[in-house]
Structures are given as structure tokens and as C-alpha cells.
Amino acid sequence: MKELTLTNYAQANTTVLENEFIDRYMVKANGEYVKVYLLLLRHMDESSGMLSVSEMADLLECTEKDILRALKYWKSQGLVDYSEDSPKKAEFETKEPTVDMSQEKPQNIQQYRTRKDRKEFKELLFVAEQYLGKTLCATDIDMITYFFDELHMSAELIEYLIEYCVENGHKSMHYIRKVALSWHEQNIKTVDVAKSTTVLYNKNYYSILNAYGIKGRGPAASEIAYIRKWTDEYHFSQEIILEACDRTMNMIHQPSFDYTDSILKKWFDKNVHTLKDIEVLDENHLREKERQKRQAARPASASSKDSAGNKFNNFDGRSYDMSELERKLVQQ
């Protein structure tokens, strides 16, 4: 294979790109990395010298770290070379021109290169692009690297993670990260465990949506958050959650995760674990209502009884002087 070096032998107003680069390197590279390479090629032979990292970042409207990632990538491909002898200064060079770039040396370069240069990682990036339907940007690649290095997920598990999220209608890397963190918290390390867990979650999700009469779509992110709260934080079984959903529909006649959450929150506070516990709460609630009803009715009944004892309650009573009446009778 012909060796490709970063050279620009074209005329002053033209930048020529070799077909070898297009055929062999460009098709597999991140689009943002290609931009950096073209910008380097464009400014190689200018009398003012090569652009600095910060200047390239300004032109491409990205961060300086994005530029350095691109340079590392092209160095790993053998198209660009630069030295990093000092942590405060790095020298970027091709086989002919050289340029100094005042930039702090990125930390953990060896670890970064170890992951990036692995064949399985490159294949994973390719698969991720197919699932997501786009060219991965530097932020996306950083996120996948984070899954590798920080969450210690295998390439197979990350691939299934992306597949699972996309199949459920979520292509946002932010959403994928939330799922990855959830799996990490649950100590999910293999694809088999992930599949069994997600199958259970999916069953729960769609059962709850059906209880609300919702069909033809998956749960929204906010709805998933509620369901995970009920299962992971409250530790309620599916039958208890569905009971709360049924009561929601009977009370307000429309789906409401917030209303259902209020029911489950009360049950959680009252230490409910089974449907039998709910029956006991219902019975206690009915007895309390009856007691309050009787208590409220007692003063009214007593008043009615007192009123009923006087048949002439609507007339003023009369008083008589019995001594005067006797005197009048004697005189007669």
C-alpha cells in the first residue's frame, strides 16, 4: 500500500487531496477528524506558519480537546506525527514542515490510545454509527470511551446497549448514558444479564401502559423514570403497581403517572408489601369513615329528639296564678 504523508504540492490557491486518503482513510474516520485534517492540509505551506490548536478550534467552532483528539487519531493512522516531550508544549510535525502548538499535554494519553487503537473499539464505533444513523462526533466517541474506561463495559455490552436504546426509540447519547449508568448500578456486566433484565423491564413497561389503555407506543423517558422509582426505590411488585394504575383510571378516568405515584407513595409510607396489605388498609379506611359519619350525625339526632318531645314547640307557653283562680271560685 502506498504511504501517504501530509504534504501539499498544489498551487497557491488550491488544496489537493489524494484519492488514497478518500478511499482508504476518510470513509472510516469521524467527520470532525476529517475537517481537522483538511484544515491542516490547507494551511501547511502558508508563510505565516501552521495554525495553533486554539486557532483551529476557533475556525471549526469546537474545543481544543476536540482538535487534539483529531490529531491523535491521524497520528495513530500514520498520517500525522508530533512529539510530546514537554507537558507544557507539544510539537506537531510532518516530514517536512513543523509547527509549535502551545497546549497542555492531555492526561492519560496512553490509556486513550490503548482503547482507541484496539480493533474491537473501532468496530464498535462503526456499529454504533449504523444503529444511530449518523457519523459519531467527538462527544459521542468520548461517551463510548467513558463506557469502556470508566464503567468497564465490554464492546459486546456497549453494542447491545446502543441496540436496545435505539429499538426503544431513543438515539440520544444522553439517554444511552442514563441507561448505561443504570446497568452499572445494577452490576450488569454481560449481554445475557442485560437481555434478561431489559426483557423484564419491557414486560413491566408495556403492562403498565396497557393498564392505562395506552397502546402502540413505548414509554416516554419521564414515564420510565416513574416506573423505575416504583420498582427500584419502592420495591413494589407488578401486581401492586397495576392495582394503583386501575385505581387511577377508576378515580380520574385518564392515565396519570403522577396520580398513580401519589397512591404508591402512600402505600410505601404505610409499609405495604402485598395486595392483602392493601385490603387491610381499605378496611381500616372504611371503618374510619363510618366512625366519622356516626360522630358527625350524633348532635343532630339529639337535637331532633328534644324537638320531637314538645308537640307545641311552635307556640309560646302560658303561665297561671293558681291562688287567684281558687279565690275567684270561692267567691262564686
The model's confidence at residue 2, banded by pLDDT at 50, 70 and 90, is: very low
* pLDDT given for residue 215 in this prediction: 83
Instruction: Identify whether residues 173 and 92 lie together within a single domain.
Output: no
- The answer to whether residue 94 is domain-embedded is yes
Instruction: Identify whether residues 181 and 228 lie together within a single domain.
Output: no
* pLDDT given for residue 319 in this prediction: 59
- The answer to whether residue 304 is domain-embedded is no
* pLDDT given for residue 266 in this prediction: 94
- When pLDDT is averaged across residues 261-271 and rounded to a whole number, the result is 94
Predicted confidence (pLDDT) per residue in 88-146, tens digit: 333 343 333 233 333 333 344 344 444 544 677 888 888 999 999 988 888 888 889 88
Give yes or no for a contact between 272 and 280, defined as CB atoms under 8 angstroms apart: no
- The answer to whether residue 40 is domain-embedded is yes
Instruction: Identify whether residues 223 and 280 lie together within a single domain.
Output: yes
The model's confidence at residue 300, banded by pLDDT at 50, 70 and 90, is: low
* pLDDT given for residue 67 in this prediction: 87
Residue at a domain's end among 145, 171, 189: 189
Pairing between β-strand 81-86 and β-strand 89-93 as defined by DSSP bridges: antiparallel
Residue at a domain's end among 76, 106, 136: 106
- The answer to whether residue 331 is domain-embedded is no
Quick check: pTM over 0.75? no
Instruction: Identify whether residues 138 and 174 lie together within a single domain.
Output: yes
The model's confidence at residue 57, banded by pLDDT at 50, 70 and 90, is: confident
- When pLDDT is averaged across residues 39-59 and rounded to a whole number, the result is 74
- The answer to whether residue 132 is domain-embedded is yes
Instruction: Identify whether residues 181 and 112 lie together within a single domain.
Output: yes
Predicted confidence (pLDDT) per residue in 173-194, tens digit: 888 998 899 888 888 999 988 8
Lowest mean pLDDT among 21-25, 76-80, 197-201: 197-201
- When pLDDT is averaged across residues 244-251 and rounded to a whole number, the result is 94
Query: Domain with 117 in it: what CATH number?
Result: 1.10.10
Instruction: Identify whether residues 232 and 170 lie together within a single domain.
Output: no
Instruction: Identify whether residues 176 and 199 lie together within a single domain.
Output: no
- The answer to whether residue 274 is domain-embedded is yes
The model's confidence at residue 87, banded by pLDDT at 50, 70 and 90, is: very low
Question: Residue 262, Cβ neighbours under 10 Å: how many?
Answer: 12
Instruction: Identify whether residues 133 and 86 lie together within a single domain.
Output: no
Instruction: Identify whether residues 197 and 251 lie together within a single domain.
Output: yes
276 has pLDDT over 80: yes
Mean per-residue pLDDT of the chain: 76
- The answer to whether residue 68 is domain-embedded is yes
- 323 vs 121, more confident: 121
* pLDDT given for residue 78 in this prediction: 78
Instruction: Identify whether residues 113 and 59 lie together within a single domain.
Output: no
Instruction: Say how far apart CA 44 and CA 225 lie, in whole Å.
Output: 52
Instruction: Identify whether residues 96 and 137 lie together within a single domain.
Output: no
Range of the domain at 275: 190-294
Give yes or no for a contact between 238 and 201, defined as CB atoms under 8 angstroms apart: no
Query: Domain with 52 in it: what CATH number?
Result: 1.10.10.10
Instruction: Say how far apart CA 174 and CA 292 lie, in whole Å.
Output: 52
Residue at a domain's end among 106, 134, 152: 106
Instruction: Say how far apart CA 332 and CA 329 lie, in whole Å.
Output: 5
Instruction: Identify whether residues 127 and 202 lie together within a single domain.
Output: no
- Give the chain's domain count: 3
- The answer to whether residue 325 is domain-embedded is no
Write 271-274 long-range contacts (CB < 8 A, 24+): 272/236, 272/240, 274/237, 274/240
Give the bridge partners for 82, in sequence order.
92
Edge-to-edge strand order for the sheet containing 89-93? Answer: 81-86, 89-93, 98-101
